[in-house]
Structure 1
């Protein structure tokens, strides 16, 4: 995200003639790729020099031509298809293993399954999976008579579509009208439609190009939604829609003029207020409307100001505010609505603790419940609103992830939690805050003979080169592991946006653990595992800490003999793909193979182009390269710009043609440049899903194809072919 004014004197000149800019690519590869052909060559992309002038410096991008926003240029599509054919050929020797792992992963999933029901306004709501069906069925059950009603059948809705996703759904406060959003392209542009549940008939209303969020006013006739910019895909306009009217007559309620903000909408648990939240990397806040008066004006809860992040939850006349005002790791305050804009009248409920990060919170009838991080470990704190006495909830694992889920009702003293650890499958509890007892609602059943006692998890620290200790979560199968430096090791990290890499259970990872792999999550700087400072130490001009941490974790794991130094693998996606790209430029010798998925690797060129989705929102994450100091720093680690003539590990790169967050041409260009520069004979595989976007394939079984592909790629390189 961006903060502040752009330096106008910074000029970006595209030094390419119109003739050159319209040139199409030429790619060459053998026309026939067969399993028996051992001499097949990789696609070689044409070099068409393209000058990008910034701060009087010129960079030559030989592969800029690969960008095609329409996704229809025949030469670009041909190149991607040739890469796919080459990938299939190069991976043909592991095809049987891919299929085997794919079947393993899917066989662990319970085919007939359902989520824990959530109660709201007289109904229990849940999703159900049936047999080999790819998509869930959304159901509600009447609490009085037990009658079930199918709201949405994702399988029927997905028929004939290569990609399909249900975004959100919301039901009017009188329970009579269903509003839901769908995406059939994977660009995260959702269409909202409506069905009358009393007649089971579709309404004529259809809202196009939305973020997918839907909030009902209390008149049961008005909905609020967010419209997206079709170029940047930024949701920036909040509209009010009246049932029975065309979208063209919808009323603009709020428009975000600052394109460094994200915009969202929601509703308080008591249905009293509809709110619009304004999210920036360095400032956050909200505005609200009376849900009983949907045509009223939007009112700021507290003005947006630089450096201040806050959110609120309503409980009766009080609003409980999570704020970083004079509190880097956040504190909880409360205020009446009439005093919300006078921060001096806010009252402190939970004081700031520099050693404890308040990550999230829930307000219930008589309790405040906090999700905290202390020394990188999760904890849930129960706080009495009447006495402010507090205590930590007890759990079974020393290191775990616990988060709130399904807490939609205010008039309760039970909090619902999602819980997991590296050896504990996804588990759902209702915790009675009065009795301080927990009720197990569900633990995901892992089929195929899984027993948690067969696996061991550890939490260690690795010393980074600047003297900072980096938390590391490790899991392995006990009878397959020897701490003698002989096990293959798979290391994963993300390290951006303050997104913490949690130590949760992965049933798919069992396919590697059972083959003797050690699995590691490195909690590098850039997340918030150790608090707000952990994020700030891994962003902007501290971004290289993220890469250094990852490398130094690898070295520590090898030194402590958790992994075979000749069989170390690394993986990351999106901003984690940037991490992988930077790491293999800096220390390629450490890794036998890496996976970079939908990788954000062309950092400078992308961040210079404000027409590309997400760019303007992230200037305060990466920097604005129109500023010289940011340009120099970003260029010094940008994976695409820093590709060198050196040996690289075996590399698997994946992307989706319709990716809305990291455009397909970033990894396509990166792979082309790597092919030209790398001095080794290791494998460089590039696979594009021509029907998907940032999240890969849709469907609960199909999406495991990509995971099985990587696991088989790594296993084969490790000499494990069964």
Structure 2
């Protein structure tokens, strides 16, 4: 195959290749640029020129085009396997699927897909599912002709007549809020740009509260009130957050009596609420304080708080309306703290509390009745996850929750908290899948410092633990985000080919409580990398996988994990998949104009401070590339990514190409019409993932067919 792309100026070129030679990768120009820290430290970043915030620079775009062309050439032989993986995945998706309807304010709401459709229809029926359907949003019609389309949220007015929704047609999570009359279908001229999803109606059915984003940093900065029929320029400022380390959201309490503005950083939170009937004065529930986190809901004449106040794993507390809610001495325990149980969420009902909590590495659901009786929802599997489902009506004894595992497709149940009766509302339909043919397992792997790391495993029944199998290991380990085991229509294709899938619950997540998170971020971030590597080595030593047949995968902050292990333990992995990877830690965290930077000083550290800078420099993937052999690498990004900017992986790939000593393939796929989550649409994302997975399977020597 012969490639010749003249890309101009200082852009990369794909060098000519003879028929006998493999395609040659792009070579990015080097332009010395010094990145300075406030205290004087300086680093040379020869690929800084690849950053263009306008995304219009011809040289930069030419380089990305060269990378995509090279990826096309390298991945061409994998096309049949890619097509097979995509076909298998799609065959496990019910084409005309629909969600479980839920009741709110007299209507049953749901979404449904028509056969072959990438986007859902949002609809409702009045009083019963036998009533005529009202289409709220015809997303396939709205998405027609657009390279990217996503609906972030929908909200119906209290009188059930108006619909507000948020849509993104770029992929940068800068939503546009729109409003329509449900009965007539007429879209109102009220259009609000640069907003977060999640608009909230006041009880007057004409005032919409929304969160406005900063156009540069994309941080949620202001809450405004828009009155239908008035210009957006006249919208009233309700609240502005001055501290860029805080994120902001808005919502209603369970009883619908209050509209609340919540702000939260890694280490602090504050919530202010106003009566929905007259939302003019928002008052603070509890003032912010460092290392004090809380979120609150209201029902039954009391405020209920989930808080870490003297409770690292959180506790539930309450205060009656008659008492001063900001006075914490008036708060009383509903669920006291336990050292081995982490309370993740709660939902109040008239007769009980529903609680999501973590114990033993699993997430479970329990109920606490008003009379003090506590009940757990049981599971028979060693590794699983339960979550509270949509529960919009508090005056019911029925609790909806979901259950899933690596072998069990997501199942929605409702349980009567009075009688114990349980009903199955929906099992995720997976055509052709037989859960009895697969086995899930939980193992505890000793890390190098003696801490035991939980790992969820799945493989096909009949698997022989003889050290010959290929394995895909996934990890994340940041922000306290727990990676719960759940069924995947894609993973089944790997298991059917004899592979093992391992989900490593490494430190930096919150699977084992707040301490698990604290032990894997800031000045202890190295534990995340150590845990992942030690899990790999233990699984190989215990013959779950063959040495030389291990693939690793992670995205976003999990992409940082991939970059770290590529530098620190390249011989342990045959291939690494890094999607939208956060790999240029120091440069990004030194630049407050980059989206999310200021809000994450308490996650990674502030490199303006020497101690934090020096520690981050020890693991930042871009800064630790050395002249050594690296595994085969597949790197993916989206040009419009608002979370991890495209130029981070672009620079990382360029420096890797110029430095690494091996001849293993390194491909960089850039989606020019997508952001952090990849392509939009139900099926399109599976095409992207099939490409990466086909690359990995080829490197692992896994058969093309099951």
Point out 4+ residue stretches in structure 1 off by more than 4 angstroms: none
Give the CA deviation at 1:24.
6.3
Number of the residue aligned with 2:331: 346
Number of the residue aligned with 2:358: 373
Number of the residue aligned with 1:634: 616
Matched, 1:39 2:18: no
Number of the residue aligned with 2:5: none
Equivalent pair of 2:348/2:394 in contact (CA under 8 Å): yes
Number of the residue aligned with 1:545: 527
Matched, 1:224 2:209: yes
Give CA-to-partner distance per residue, 1:632-661, whole Å, 9 cap, x none: 000110000000100000000000000000
Number of the residue aligned with 1:329: 313
Equivalent pair of 1:378/1:399 in contact (CA under 8 Å): no
Matched, 1:473 2:447: no
Give the CA deviation at 1:320.
1.2
Give the CA deviation at 1:158.
0.5
Equivalent pair of 2:362/2:484 in contact (CA under 8 Å): no
Number of the residue aligned with 1:526: 508
Matched, 1:198 2:183: yes
Number of the residue aligned with 1:119: 103
Give the CA deviation at 1:244.
0.8
Structure 2 residue corresponding to 1:510, chosen from 447, 470, 492: 492
Deviates more, 1:401-410 or 1:181-190: 401-410
Equivalent pair of 1:547/1:579 in contact (CA under 8 Å): yes
SS in 2 for 1:368: strand
Matches of 2:405 and 2:87, distance apart in 1: 24
Structure 2 residue corresponding to 1:714, chosen from 681, 696, 701: 696
Number of the residue aligned with 2:229: 244
SS in 2 for 1:52: strand
Deviates more, 1:248-257 or 1:433-442: 433-442
Equivalent pair of 2:382/2:441 in contact (CA under 8 Å): no
Superposition pairs of residues 285-684 of structure 1, within 5 angstroms: 285-294=270-279, 296-337=280-321, 338-385=323-370, 387-447=371-431, 449-479=432-462, 481-684=463-666
SS in 2 for 1:111: coil
Number of the residue aligned with 1:10: none
Give CA-to-partner distance per residue, 1:412-461, whole Å, 9 cap, x none: 221111110111001101111111221100001111x2111110010001
Matches of 1:286 and 1:678, distance apart in 2: 50
* TM-score normalised by length of structure 2: 0.97
Identify unmatched segments of 5+ residues in structure 2: 1-7
Matches of 2:584 and 2:632, distance apart in 1: 20
Give CA-to-partner distance per residue, 1:64-111, whole Å, 9 cap, x none: 000000011111111001100100100111111101111111111000
Give CA-to-partner distance per residue, 1:256-292, whole Å, 9 cap, x none: 0000000000001221000000111001221101100
SS in 2 for 1:675: helix
Give CA-to-partner distance per residue, 1:454-481, whole Å, 9 cap, x none: 10010001111111000000000113x2
Number of the residue aligned with 1:20: none
Equivalent pair of 1:265/1:277 in contact (CA under 8 Å): yes
Give the CA deviation at 1:235.
1.0
SS in 1 for 2:454: strand
SS in 2 for 1:696: coil
Matches of 2:262 and 2:601, distance apart in 1: 20
Matches of 1:478 and 1:716, distance apart in 2: 23
Give CA-to-partner distance per residue, 1:191-220, whole Å, 9 cap, x none: 111111232211111111101211011110
Give the CA deviation at 1:395.
2.6
Equivalent pair of 1:24/1:65 in contact (CA under 8 Å): no
SS in 1 for 2:84: helix
Matched, 1:128 2:112: yes
Superposition pairs of residues 45-60 of structure 1, within 5 angstroms: 45-54=28-37, 55-60=39-44
Superposition pairs of residues 279-290 of structure 1, within 5 angstroms: 279-290=264-275
Give CA-to-partner distance per residue, 1:216-275, whole Å, 9 cap, x none: 111101110001011100011000010111100100000000000000000012210000
Equivalent pair of 1:94/1:721 in contact (CA under 8 Å): no
Matched, 1:172 2:157: yes
Equivalent pair of 1:339/1:346 in contact (CA under 8 Å): no
Structure 2 residue corresponding to 1:94, chosen from 73, 78, 97: 78
Give the CA deviation at 1:592.
0.3
Equivalent pair of 2:125/2:133 in contact (CA under 8 Å): yes
Matches of 1:264 and 1:560, distance apart in 2: 46
Matches of 2:250 and 2:10, distance apart in 1: 43
Equivalent pair of 1:567/1:718 in contact (CA under 8 Å): yes
Equivalent pair of 1:274/1:288 in contact (CA under 8 Å): yes
Aligned length: 694
Matches of 2:256 and 2:299, distance apart in 1: 11
The Cα RMSD (Å) is 1.3
SS in 2 for 1:193: strand
Give the CA deviation at 1:37.
6.2
